[in-house]
Amino acid sequence: MPDVFMGDLSQIKLADILRLLLSEGKTGKLILGKGNDAGEIYVENGAVTHASSKANSGKEALFVMMTWMIGKFNFSPDVLPEEKSIEIDTDQLLEEGEKRVKEWEHIREVIPSMDVVFRLAGHKGSDDINLKSAEWNILTQVDAMRSAGEISGALNLDEFDVAKTLYELYSAGLLEVVERPKPPPEKIMEREFFKKVDGELAKALGPIASVIVDDQIAEMGEQRDAFPQNKAAELVEAVSSEIADEGKRIRFQRSMLEVLRDL
Amino acid sequence: MKEKLEEINSIKGVWGYVLCDNTGKILEKEMPIVFMKHLAMMGKEVTQVVGLLETMSKSSENLDLLFEDGRVMIRSLKNFTLAVFCDPNVDIPMLRLKTNVVVSEITGDPKMQELFQKGEWRRRRLLQKEYLGKEYREILSQLVPEDAKPDTSA
Q: Which pLDDT belongs to residue B79?
A: 86
Q: Which pLDDT belongs to residue A209?
A: 94
* A32 and A68 part of one domain: yes
Confidence of residue B150 (pLDDT cuts 50, 70, 90): low
What is the β-pairing status of strands A175-178 and A117-120? antiparallel
* A168 and A215 part of one domain: no
Would A10 be classed as within a structural domain?
yes
* A64 and A157 part of one domain: no
pTM: 0.55
- Residue A58 has φ and ψ, to the nearest 5°, of 80, -155
Whole-angstrom distance, CA of residue A203 vs CA of residue B42 = 40
* A129 and A159 part of one domain: yes
Would A183 be classed as within a structural domain?
no
Whole-angstrom distance, CA of residue B150 vs CA of residue B76 = 20
Grouping H, G, I as helix, E, B as strand and the rest as coil, residue A28 is: strand
Grouping H, G, I as helix, E, B as strand and the rest as coil, residue B91 is: coil
* A126 and A81 part of one domain: no
Would A229 be classed as within a structural domain?
yes
Q: Which residues of A touch B96 (CB under 8 A)?
A: 237
Q: At what angle do helices A191-205 and A246-261 cross, to 10 degrees?
A: 170
Q: Which pLDDT belongs to residue A196?
A: 94
Q: Which pLDDT belongs to residue A37?
A: 82
Q: Which pLDDT belongs to residue A141?
A: 92
* Last residue in a domain, options A106, A138, A158: A106
* A33 and A55 part of one domain: yes
Q: Which pLDDT belongs to residue B42?
A: 82
Q: Is the pLDDT of residue B140 over 70?
A: no
* A142 and A196 part of one domain: no
Q: Which residues of A touch B93 (CB under 8 A)?
A: 233-234, 236-238
Confidence of residue B152 (pLDDT cuts 50, 70, 90): low
Q: What is the CATH number of the domain that holds A149?
A: 1.10.10
Q: Which of A197, A235, A250 to mutate to test the interface with B (most CBs of B within 10 A)?
A: A250
Contact between A234 and B100 using a beta-carbon 8 Å cutoff: no
Would A111 be classed as within a structural domain?
no
Contact between B97 and A234 using a beta-carbon 8 Å cutoff: no
Burial of A14 (0-12, 13-18, 19+ CB in 10 A): buried
Would A112 be classed as within a structural domain?
no
Q: Which pLDDT belongs to residue B149?
A: 57
Q: Which residues of A touch B98 (CB under 8 A)?
A: 257
Whole-angstrom distance, CA of residue B144 vs CA of residue B55 = 8
Contact between A237 and B98 using a beta-carbon 8 Å cutoff: no
Would A186 be classed as within a structural domain?
no
User: By percentage, how much of chain B surpasses pLDDT 70?
Assistant: 82
Of residues B154 and A226, the one with the higher pLDDT is: A226
* Last residue in a domain, options A178, A201, A217: A178
* Last residue in a domain, options A106, A134, A161: A106
Contact between B101 and A257 using a beta-carbon 8 Å cutoff: yes
DSSP E strands, A95-192: 117-120, 175-178
Would A206 be classed as within a structural domain?
yes
Whole-angstrom distance, CA of residue A167 vs CA of residue A147 = 13
Q: Which pLDDT belongs to residue A2?
A: 54
Q: Which of A234, A238, A253 sits opposite B100 (nearest CB)?
A: A253
Domain that holds residue A234: 191-261
Q: Which pLDDT belongs to residue B96?
A: 94
* A163 and A216 part of one domain: no
Closest Cα in chain B, distance from residue A244 (Å): 14
* A102 and A161 part of one domain: no
Whole-angstrom distance, CA of residue A25 vs CA of residue A76 = 14
Count of structural domains within chain A: 3
Closest Cα in chain B, distance from residue A185 (Å): 19
> If you measure CA to CA, which chain B residue comes closest to A234?
B93
* A147 and A124 part of one domain: yes
Across chain B, what does the average pLDDT equal?
A: 81
> If you measure CA to CA, which chain A residue comes closest to B100?
A250
Would A184 be classed as within a structural domain?
no
Return the amino acid letter for A111. Answer: I
* A97 and A145 part of one domain: no
* A81 and A144 part of one domain: no
In which residue ranges of chain A is pLDDT below 70? 1-4, 123-126
> If you measure CA to CA, which chain B residue comes closest to A260?
B94
Closest Cα in chain A, distance from residue B14 (Å): 15
pLDDT digits (tens, 9 = 90+) for B95-132: 999 999 999 999 888 888 888 877 666 776 776 766 77
